Structures are given as C-alpha cells and as structure tokens.
C-alpha cells in the first residue's frame, strides 16, 4: 500500500512518519541511536522528523526540502510512505 503524506508547513508530516517507524520497530538497526547521537553532538533537541529528513539542510532548517520514501511492513501488509514538503518553494519536489 502506498501512502503520500501532504499538508501545510510545520504540521508534523515528517514527525508522524518518524514516530510511526520508531513505534513499529521499522527503523534500521541503530538508526534511532545514530540520530540521537548526532543531535547531542550538534546540541540540538531530538526530533522524530530527523529520522526522515536526511539532508543536512533539512535538519538544520527544520524543513522537508525533497520528497522522502520510506518502507515498512506489518504482518498483513507492506507500506511505502512518501513524505512531501510543505513549503510552497519546494512543492515542485513533490511532483
């Protein structure tokens, strides 16, 4: 099943996807710890969105610039979730 998460800027699109992956145990081994360590090293608070927003500019600015695709599965289904940017300047990256 494919899902595309769209919405207005700063309404938590990347955050909810990151939290979903963390809560379902769908992250690659060590990913959560890696991101938390990077946040500590950079003196930034951890955000679940950082699990999805991989570009340095995305993390430093706290925005999604490019669409991201993440895969996870449950016992019944395989999912592809696409995280779309919310800033008007980056909507072209969604299409």
Q: What is the pLDDT of residues 34-93, one digit of tens each?
A: 999 988 998 989 989 888 866 565 556 555 556 778 888 888 999 999 887 765 665 555
Beta strands 78-83; 68-73: pairing state: antiparallel
Local confidence band at 33 (pLDDT 50, 70, 90 cut-offs): very high
Tell me how far apart the alpha carbons of residues 54 and 65 are, in angstroms, rounded to a whole number: 10
Local confidence band at 5 (pLDDT 50, 70, 90 cut-offs): confident
Tokens 């909507």, residue located: 91
Q: Residue 95: its pLDDT value, please?
A: 55
- What 3-state DSSP class applies to 16? helix
Please tell me the number of Cα atoms within 13 Å of 41 on its side-chain side: 6
Q: Where are the domains of the chain?
A: 2-93
Q: Residue 68: its pLDDT value, please?
A: 78
**Yes or no: domain 2-93 corresponds to CATH 3.30.360.10:** no
Better pLDDT: 61 or 9: 9
Q: Residue 69: its pLDDT value, please?
A: 84
Q: Residue 83: its pLDDT value, please?
A: 82
Q: Residue 66: its pLDDT value, please?
A: 66
């Amino acid at each position: 099943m494919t899902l595309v998460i769209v919405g207005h800027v700063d309404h938590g699109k990347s955050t909810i996807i990151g939290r979903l992956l963390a809560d379902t145990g769908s992250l690659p081994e060590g990913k959560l710890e890696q991101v938390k360590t990077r946040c500590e090293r950079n003196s930034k608070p951890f955000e679940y969105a950082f699990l999805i927003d991989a570009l340095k500019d995305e993390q430093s600015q706290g925005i999604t610039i490019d669409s991201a695709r993440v895969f996870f599965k449950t016992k019944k289904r395989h999912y592809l979730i696409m995280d779309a940017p919310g800033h008007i300047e980056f909507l072209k990256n969604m299409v």
